[in-house]
Structure 1
Amino acid sequence: MIFASSIQAQNQEVQKVIETFFEGFHAKDTVKMKSVCSDKIILQSIMENAKGAKLSDESAKEFYNSIATIPSDFKFEEKILNYSIQVDGTMAHVWTPYEFYINGKLSHSGVNAFTLYKENGIWKIIYCIDTRRK
């Protein structure tokens, strides 16, 4: 019972990191986003369409700049549908299916896969890859 409680608490810590990331994302608050991300974060996306799939890389600097420069009248929301969390010591993996809306209309959907590392007692996102389908 104590073991199950410990796992639950650790999963909640990890989920809170992802929630904080998305709070910052929706608020276009890159400082908040950076607070839960490693300085060495790796960001990738897989765009899927009828012609196949394309893997793209984005630097952290490009990513944060793209968030910070979103016009104030541009409304977007990434709805996380659920969380699947796995933890092994100081590494965690979080799988989050999502739907992405622009001005209230579904734009695309997919899944985010986050890898986190716990350093000095603090969880940080070190890797994020997502799929995107229309």
Structure 2
Amino acid sequence: MKRLFLLILLLISINSFAQKKQNPEEKEILLKVQQFFDALEKQDTVLFKSILLTNGQVWAISEKENVAKYSMRQFSDFMRTLINPARVIQERMLSSEVKIHNRIAMAWVPYTLDISGKFSHCGVDLFTFLKTDEGWKIATAAYTIEPEGCSHFGSRPE
């Protein structure tokens, strides 16, 4: 009985310390998300064009006084609005969850965003990906804009 108990305890311990390994496609998708953040900070349209589908869209969702506001831009318009040497946008991934099925995938990414070194907001990015002959490309990016209530993301104290 004592041996059985020790065996069960050992198996539970091993299972508790086991880490989930990312498969290569998950790594590639998270690399594309990081490249998106890097392109945003560097205002690098060449990098954006290498990771985005040409006809993709960006959706922003914000809420003020319980009224939701939605806006959509094509990736081409989104890239044009980024060019502003007077401001630096830094977006940081807080965590991530990736789901993949055949040639479609999504990344759920809570984030914080600073503009020129000052906190702007937090939220969740939802990237949808399609696998092309060139690899995974971002088809859409949707994000929430949450200037307050970021502590539930584990990002900043309120």
Q: Verify same fold: TM over 0.5.
A: yes
Q: Secondary structure at the match of 2:23?
A: helix
Deviations 1:13-63 (CA, angstroms, capped at 9, x unpaired)? 111111112111110001101100001112111012224211111122220
Could you tell me the percent identity over the aligned residues?
A: 27
Letter in 2 for 1:24: A
User: Which 5+ residue runs of structure 1 have no aligned equivalent?
Assistant: none
Gaps of 5+ in 2: 1-19, 148-158
Segment of structure 1 superposing worse, 109-118 or 49-58: 49-58
Superposed CA RMSD in Å reads 1.6
Higher helix proportion (structure 1 or 2)? 2
CA contact 1:22–1:33 (8 Å) conserved in 2: no
Show the counterpart of 2:13.
Answer: none
After TM superposition, where is structure 1 displaced by more than 3 Å over at least 4 residues in a row?
none
The alignment covers a number of residue pairs equal to 128
> How high is the TM-score relative to the length of structure 1?
0.88
Higher strand share: 1
Relative to the length of structure 2, the TM-score reads 0.75
* Alignment-derived partner of residue 59 in structure 1: 74
Alignment-derived partner of residue 43 in structure 2: 28
SS in structure 1 of the partner of residue 68 of structure 2: strand
Residue 88 (structure 1) aligns with: 101
